[in-house]
Chains A and B, each alone.
Chain A
């Protein structure tokens, strides 16, 4: 690999990591607090992408599309939690089956509404176009760097909320022991609903942000669910730093192997997962169950 090519591949890896982080952080927060593996997380990503595209198409505003995706998928997640998952709370097999069922139904409904087309976004001009990287004399899309900056900002905001606010303390306590949080007088059902809304909203927002890197089309739901699962398993369920580190690791491994040995690239991220599971079954930053 030449030096400029190495830099480009690394930047691709980091910006993909940023996207993985935005998708997976909602997944891991929902798992950490509710102990629900939401297998419809990819559907929320795709729904957010489609919906954001439609809103952006009507209004001509990408930002409005992203905001709509955030709030409408948050609402969809809230309904999923209050309408379905709350009734079967703690029954892991049923939760898995119900969320898979929802993802299948949602995929067909979205296919009926948006068809099998590929949708391209047009983000605002400030964050599009190319950027010349000095010294190396290579060009790099500005939008991808925006995604990276956005993910870092989101990570810092989440870190601040988790570390410093009373809500964050409650969330961390609930990740440790939900029953004891209830026993000190906190309504955990409200916390669960809030976490589901936040996690789902972030998935929807990621649909617009990720869809704008390339495009959005049916099938992306499964792809990002799988990416979230790998990132969260490698990083440790329910851990913010774990998700960040694992997103970088998974995305870099994916991009480097694509550049070096494209034929076998698909299995390399799974190998990474296998190695982590063999050495640290709870994930890099997870606590033993």
Chain B
């Protein structure tokens, strides 16, 4: 093992046509979860798309586990060990739960610690109950489990999650947080992009705040939670409303 971080983003710029969305992102991620917080339209989803190779107009450097990701095709990036749980979950409505798990090519990891459909069903028993059901008919929480399951089956080293709590009932969000903590304890690196302060701080101790396509501030959960003025300034929310 080297001391190089798992993910190192340097001077990342990204464009949607003419608009310059990411304006020089610098981020370092080890095995400790990192949450990227920010209001709508700050470029959080664009960051996810740039990291997973789904946005082609990208400049800068993304080093991941010794590989440069900029310019690589999405399937190569996935094969290198980057799992992606997109905003809105984006499960395949015409596939059943079981077919989602069959679809994913299993990456050889070299270690014995591999995700299999059986292990997925053990983690999410709800999915096992619904294995023959078309994914389009699942509830929001079940679809989120399926989106996570789909990403886990690629046996990622890093899981990128874009607003996983969006549109979920509070009790389901609690389960989601517990799941993410459990995965992080199991050694999976997590990059959590969130709008909700409570979810971000519950999962990650390290917090990066994104404003206008840049990382405006790096701080810790404790410091952010203790400082309503800071929250107000960067997120425009009070702790009470966000909790």
Contacts and interface: CB of A to CB of B under 8 A. Distances in A.
Interface residues of B, number: 26
Secondary structure call for the A interface: helix
A118 interface: no
B54 interface: yes
Interface in B103-120: 103-105, 107
Given A185-B79, A186-B75, A176 B154 contact: no
A183 B54 contact: yes
B75 A176 contact: no
A218 B10 CA distance: 58
Given A169-B95, A173-B95, A176-B95, A183 B103 contact: no
B86 to A, nearest CB: 7
B93 interface: yes
A166 B102 contact: yes
Contact of A184 (B53, B73, B99, B150): B150
Given A169-B95, A176-B94, A185 B78 contact: yes
A175 interface: yes
Interface in A171-186: 172-173, 175-177, 179-186
A189 interface: yes
B5 to A, nearest CB: 23
Interface in B18-72: 52-54
B104 A183 contact: no
A164 to B, nearest CB: 10
A173 B98 CA distance: 13
A172 B75 contact: no
Contacts of B151: 184
A170 interface: yes
A221 B234 CA distance: 61
Nearest to A184: B104
Interface of A: 166, 169-170, 172-173, 175-177, 179-189, 287
12 contacts: A172-B94, A173-B99, A176-B94, A176-B95, A179-B54, A179-B90, A181-B103, A185-B75, A185-B78, A185-B104, A187-B75, A188-B74
Given A176-B92, A180-B150, A185-B107, 15 more contacts: A166-B102, A166-B103, A169-B102, A169-B103, A173-B95, A173-B100, A177-B90, A179-B54, A179-B74, A179-B90, A182-B53, A182-B54, A182-B75, A184-B105, A186-B105
